[in-house]
Amino acid sequence: MRFENRVTIITGAASGIGRAVAERIFSEGGSVALIDRNTEGLAAVAESLGDQSRVWFRALDISKESEVEQCVADIFARFGRVDALCNNAGIAGGDYSLITETDTNVWQQIMAVNVMGAVHFTKFAARIMRDQGKGAIVNTASVAGVRSGAGGNAYSASKAAVINLTQTTACDLGEWNVRVNAVCPGLIETGMTAPVFDRARAAQKEHKLGSRCELRRYGRPAEVAAVIAFLASDDASYVTGQALPVDGGNTASLNLPGMKV
């Protein structure tokens, strides 16, 4: 019950890792504010959790600062506090083109959601945490932000930016006892990675998914959620400014040219 009497904001909560985080934190006694663009998905998650007195949700575009500001204000009005923020929402963009063929619009869209969405929520939630004298922020980055071959150019650059944002904001907020960390998932089966899994299954190559990780398998959302819950809890009270891979050992091994193709 690490989150009893605590309130956690979770973006990208309608599915995948975000949903798993909501389930984990709720199961440990926490109240959750769920954010996503998918209204139906949010409603389904909220209903599945049970006790509606500990659940709040809203569909919005996290790239719009004014909407995020109002959202955080409404969460504070509902619960009277914000103890943790999980910046999990993100998009892949589906663009794996070479940099010479890149679509500028795709870059702008990915940066607006993956980077600025986290910036907006951190900006307004951290003000509440500062006044409380305590808080935890956990950003979902990616192994794609650590090394090449795990995502398209724009997506990878956005996740590298999230890692750096984690470090700089940890320095900004440390004096108020607000911790900021990131997780860097490897290959996890979620809605975002569904095309990868669909292609592998269609080609009867599902057994190869995650085969180059040291654990020789792909991961599950619940496994990432467990690490996020740790970083958001007092169990990680002396951990800040870190980007922790949750990747089955993928970033521990040598990435040779062409290996990830």
* List of residues 6+ apart from 86 with CB closer than 8 A: 8, 9, 10, 11, 18, 21, 137, 138, 140, 228, 232
DSSP 204: T
* List of residues 6+ apart from 141 with CB closer than 8 A: 159, 160, 162, 163, 166, 182, 183, 184, 243
Measured CA to CA, the distance from residue 229 to residue 235 in angstroms comes to 9
Measured CA to CA, the distance from residue 29 to residue 27 in angstroms comes to 5
* List of residues 6+ apart from 27 with CB closer than 8 A: none
The two tokens of residue 17 are 């890792």
């922790």: which residue's tokens?
244
Helix (H, G, I), strand (E, B) or coil at 170: helix
Cα distances (Å, whole numbers) of residue 19 to 66, 89, 207: 25, 11, 26
Degrees, nearest 5: CA angle 65-158-43? 55
Q: Are 190 and 221 in contact (CB under 8 A)?
A: yes
Q: Are 183 and 90 in contact (CB under 8 A)?
A: no
Measured CA to CA, the distance from residue 142 to residue 182 in angstroms comes to 9
**Residues recognised as catalytic:** 155
DSSP 140: E
